[in-house]
């Protein structure tokens, strides 16, 4: 069975960020994700992860202006040099924390030039450090209007164009269901490309077993596919984080 990581931007928000690592471990998680840890001290984050005994699995790049700004800008023509500077910063940050995957966010853009920009930036980023695993994740149009990477089939095409072994697909169950209406079918269509998984139920984006997705079937499909990577819990708890963790012992 895959290993589970707690997304500390979504879970355990009842306590300060540095306390969330140990809380996640006590709850049964062996890894953690943080969307944008850049405002925090690397040393303190690394110590918190080490003391808790959890792996740092995922963070996003480039660091965006989260307060109302775009979600990344890797597909935005004209921002290439900013992308490179910010990507290098993320790379340094990620190395210091031992982060397994860096999720490269496309930002808001449309059209052929945006596509070429995204491909060129990804090629550059993949070549920057061939040992660092990068991921791309499609986002649904309802939650992120205008986001360039808005389908898993487009992500597969982009990956083929980039053609780098250290670029993988991030399969978020909630995003797949929102975009394509059948997360399991998306899993089956793109299994070989998937490097990281995130889960939340649909349509609520709460914990598994609160909505319409058949997680027993999905976990069986993930197991049967031979996927042995991480599964990140990236959902908004319905009540407290602790109260909603029953799904973890049933997975």
- Residues engaged in binding ligand LASSHYVV (CB under 6 A): 35, 60, 71, 103, 137, 139, 172, 175, 198, 234
Nearer to ligand LASSHYVV, 69 or 98 (CB): 69
Nearer to ligand LASSHYVV, 24 or 224 (CB): 24
Asked if 55 is an active-site residue, the reply is: no
Smallest distance from ligand LASSHYVV to CB 39, Å: 15
Nearer to Mg ion, 22 or 218 (CB): 218
What the block records as the tokens of 53 is 């005994």
| Residue that the structure tokens 């660092």 belong to | 132
Nearer to ligand LASSHYVV, 6 or 226 (CB): 6
Surface-to-core class of residue 46, CB atoms within 10 Å of its CB (0-12 exposed, 13-18 middle, 19+ buried): middle
Question: Can you tell me whether residue 231 is helix, strand or coil?
Answer: strand
- Cβ contact 191:225 at 8 Å: yes
Q: Verify binding: residue 207, Mg ion, rule CB under 5 A.
A: no
Q: Which one of Mg ion, ligand LASSHYVV, none interacts with residue 60, CB within 5 to 8 A by kind?
A: ligand LASSHYVV
Q: ∠ CA(241), CA(245), CA(247), 5° rounding?
A: 145
DSSP states of 105-145: -B-B--SHHHHHHHHHHHHHHHHH-TTSEEEE----TTTST
Q: Which one of Mg ion, ligand LASSHYVV, none interacts with residue 25, CB within 5 to 8 A by kind?
A: none
Smallest distance from Mg ion to CB 124, Å: 24
Q: How far apart are CA 96 and CA 90, in angstroms?
A: 10
Q: How far apart are CA 208 and CA 195, in angstroms?
A: 21
Asked if 161 is an active-site residue, the reply is: no
Smallest distance from ligand LASSHYVV to CB 103, Å: 6
Dihedral sign from CA coordinates of 229, 20, 95, 107: positive
Q: Verify binding: residue 76, Mg ion, rule CB under 5 A.
A: no
**167 to 206: interface string for Mg ion, x by CB under 5 A:** -----x-------------------------x--------
- Among the listed residues 137, 157, 161, 217, the single catalytic one is 137
Q: What's the gap between Cα 33 and its chain centre? A: 8
CB closest to ligand LASSHYVV, residue no = 172
The catalytic site residues sit at 137, 234
Contact positions toward Mg ion, by CB under 5 A? 172, 198, 234
């Amino acid at each position: 069975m895959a290993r589970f990581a707690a997304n500390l931007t979504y879970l355990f928000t009842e306590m300060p960020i540095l306390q969330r690592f140990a809380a996640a471990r006590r709850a049964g998680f062996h890894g953690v994700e943080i969307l944008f840890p850049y405002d925090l001290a690397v040393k303190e984050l690394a110590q918190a992860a080490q003391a808790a005994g959890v792996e740092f699995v995922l963070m996003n790049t480039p660091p965006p202006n989260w307060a109302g700004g775009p979600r990344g800008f890797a597909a935005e023509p004209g921002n290439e040099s900013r992308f490179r500077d910010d990507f290098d910063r993320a790379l340094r940050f990620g190395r210091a924390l031992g982060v397994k995957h860096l999720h490269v966010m496309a930002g808001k853009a449309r059209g052929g030039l945006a596509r070429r920009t995204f491909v060129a930036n990804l090629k550059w980023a993949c070549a920057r450090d061939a040992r660092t695993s990068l991921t791309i994740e499609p986002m649904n149009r309802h939650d992120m209007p205008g986001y360039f990477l808005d389908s898993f089939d487009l992500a597969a095409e982009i990956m083929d164009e980039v053609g780098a072994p250290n670029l993988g697909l991030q399969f978020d169950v909630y995003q797949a269901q929102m975009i394509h209406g059948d997360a399991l079918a998306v899993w089956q269509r793109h299994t070989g490309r998937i490097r990281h998984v995130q889960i939340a139920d649909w349509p609520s984006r709460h914990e598994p077993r609160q909505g319409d997705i058949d997680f027993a079937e999905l976990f069986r499909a993930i197991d049967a596919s031979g996927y042995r990577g991480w599964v990140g819990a990236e959902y908004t708890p319905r009540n407290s984080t602790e109260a909603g963790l029953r799904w973890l012992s049933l997975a």
